[in-house]
Structure 1
Amino acid sequence: MTERGHSSLSRGPDHLAMGDSLLHWKGDRLEIDIEEQAIWLGVPFHPPVRGKVVVEPEMWSGQRFALDPAGRHHWRAFAPRSRIRVEMERPGISWSGTGYLDGNHGSEALEDGFADWQWSRAHVGAEAAVLYEGVRRDGSTFASALRFDAHGHGQEEPLPMGAPLPATRWLMGRRTRADRGHARVVGTWEDSPFYARSAVASRLFGREVLAVHESLSLDRFRSPIVQWMLPYKMPRRP
């Protein structure tokens, strides 16, 4: 991933282009063409990444949810269940499996509205479940457990018990919710000073599930030290 300026952005009703990478709809499926080359001070320092990701929704949801009382931030799970196919040319790997498509939008930066959040998504039989909770910038908290049926309709469920998870190597706090308050980390895919993405096994709504889980500390993200470090992790182009 590369941070880019306004001149590298193009978007329309059915596409979003950033540099040489492109997201576009073909009928009911989303195709993501990836063409990335990390460059630092004008010099490539990592092999190029090139390939395609295809997301085919199995259900659609038109619902959106406000994350704060003032309505500055909204979240929507466009496709709570999807099939996904990854076909990479560089590196030469491919796989297929289950997927998910959501989005956030708002009238202010996320770090201005929130201090922390925890999120997870799991397939529950033919349905899908999403757990969302966090701390707003004013210190208030929010939490919801949503269950999407086979038609994509989401409804609030009683919140399962809190389930603590071990901190990451960067000492990022992680937590989730599960039946009987027990969950375990199966693997951590992304571990950074302010963000972690993990696979978490638990029991949810009476079923054994393997969830994708993320922890985000926006307090850490907005700190001057992390902001100084970011270009070394994700290069910036003018």
Structure 2
Amino acid sequence: MFSPWYAWSGRHDPENHVCLNVATYGPGGRFAMTDRGRGALRQTPQSLTIGPSSLHWQDGQLKIRIDERGAPPLFGRLRGRITVTPSALTRIELPLTPDGAHVWRPFAPTCRIEVDLDAPGWRWQGHGYFDANFGTRALEEDFDSWTWGRFPTGTGSTCFYDARRRDGSALATAIRFDAEGAARSVTPPPTARLRRSLWQVTRQTRADPGHAPRQVQNMLDAPFYSRSMVTTRLDGTETTGVHEALDLRRFRSALVKPMLALRVPRRARWSFAQDS
């Protein structure tokens, strides 16, 4: 949804603009997101293949095979495997607009993840999640900004979705998931401001009254987007999770997409008969 090539194409043919975005953090971290044409796409009910990389459901696990090229300024290959094991799968959908044009789908809000990439130090296990956003219109048509957070709890995960729509209305949702995937809407705790990102993107999250959340790791910083690890306090317990902030007003700027194209190269003629 953030491919500048797809936006420039008029958004009429999504299957001709397919990407697998991979980002690693810390020393030697890489970012890969190559926009490929329809010749690089293969789909079955259990698998999605995009160029040399693929995602496949097998025995209750999502197995991801990565073979991508890093974007500038840190070139190099990103190769390896990731295995995502959900504690449970959900059928929950959250409409982000009243007409349902945008939907958030938390397929597996609580997972175990195993990462095995071909680079020193890029092999580990930890806590993860698997979700997706779907839409029939461009995000920047309907939203000015949003923040999202997913925080592990002792029995599952809690997610917060806060958005400001272009029509002046707002979304403020908190959902608590248990280990079996059962979800219930809860009253969101108060909003709490975070320091602006390095690109000065405005950020906030949710926290117990009087608590000041803090960023503990910067993960991805762009002119319109921030992803980070944030520590907050929920129901008296500190928890560290993934936080995202998105400024669609900036993304609408004519200056941002050419900048983004430097990080998202286009390979329209990739085919399975050639190397990546």
Q: Same fold (TM over 0.5)?
A: yes
The aligned counterpart of 1:219 is: 249
The answer on whether the counterparts of 1:50 and 1:91 sit within 8 Å (CA) in structure 2 is no
3-state DSSP of counterpart to 2:91: coil
Whole-angstrom CA distance in 1 between matches of 2:120 and 2:255: 32
3-state DSSP of counterpart to 1:167: coil
TM-score, normalised to structure 2, is: 0.81
Whole-angstrom CA distance in 1 between matches of 2:258 and 2:216: 31
3-state DSSP of counterpart to 2:150: strand
Whole-angstrom CA distance in 2 between matches of 1:200 and 1:217: 18
The aligned counterpart of 1:27 is: 59
The aligned counterpart of 2:34 is: 2
The aligned counterpart of 1:208 is: 238
Amino acid paired to 2:135: G
* 2:209 is the counterpart of 1:180: yes
1:12-54 Cα shifts (integer Å, max 9, x gaps): 21111111110111121001111112589xxxx8211111111
Consecutive aligned runs of 4 or more in structure 1 exceeding 6 Å deviation: none
1:127-158 Cα shifts (integer Å, max 9, x gaps): 21001011112221101011112221111111
Matches within 5 A, 1:1-238: 1-38=33-70, 46-90=75-119, 93-182=122-211, 183-238=213-268
The answer on whether the counterparts of 2:148 and 2:159 sit within 8 Å (CA) in structure 1 is yes
3-state DSSP of counterpart to 2:99: coil
CA displacement at 1:57 relative to structure 2: 0.3
Whole-angstrom CA distance in 2 between matches of 1:169 and 1:23: 32
User: Aligned residue pairs: how many?
Assistant: 235
1:36-86 Cα shifts (integer Å, max 9, x gaps): 12589xxxx821111111100012211111111111111111111100000
Amino acid paired to 1:206: G
1:195-230 Cα shifts (integer Å, max 9, x gaps): 111111111133211121000111212211110111
The answer on whether the counterparts of 1:174 and 1:215 sit within 8 Å (CA) in structure 2 is yes
Amino acid paired to 1:225: L
Whole-angstrom CA distance in 2 between matches of 1:205 and 1:73: 30
RMSD: 1.7
Amino acid paired to 2:193: P
3-state DSSP of counterpart to 1:152: coil
The answer on whether the counterparts of 2:151 and 2:240 sit within 8 Å (CA) in structure 1 is yes
The answer on whether the counterparts of 1:75 and 1:105 sit within 8 Å (CA) in structure 2 is yes
The answer on whether the counterparts of 1:49 and 1:91 sit within 8 Å (CA) in structure 2 is no
Whole-angstrom CA distance in 2 between matches of 1:171 and 1:101: 28
3-state DSSP of counterpart to 1:101: strand
More strand by share: 1
Whole-angstrom CA distance in 1 between matches of 2:112 and 2:71: 33
The aligned counterpart of 2:29 is: none
Unaligned runs of 5+ in 2: 1-32, 269-276
Whole-angstrom CA distance in 1 between matches of 2:250 and 2:43: 31
3-state DSSP of counterpart to 1:123: strand
Q: Percent identity?
A: 43
CA displacement at 1:92 relative to structure 2: 6.1
The answer on whether the counterparts of 2:71 and 2:264 sit within 8 Å (CA) in structure 1 is no
Unaligned runs of 5+ in 1: none
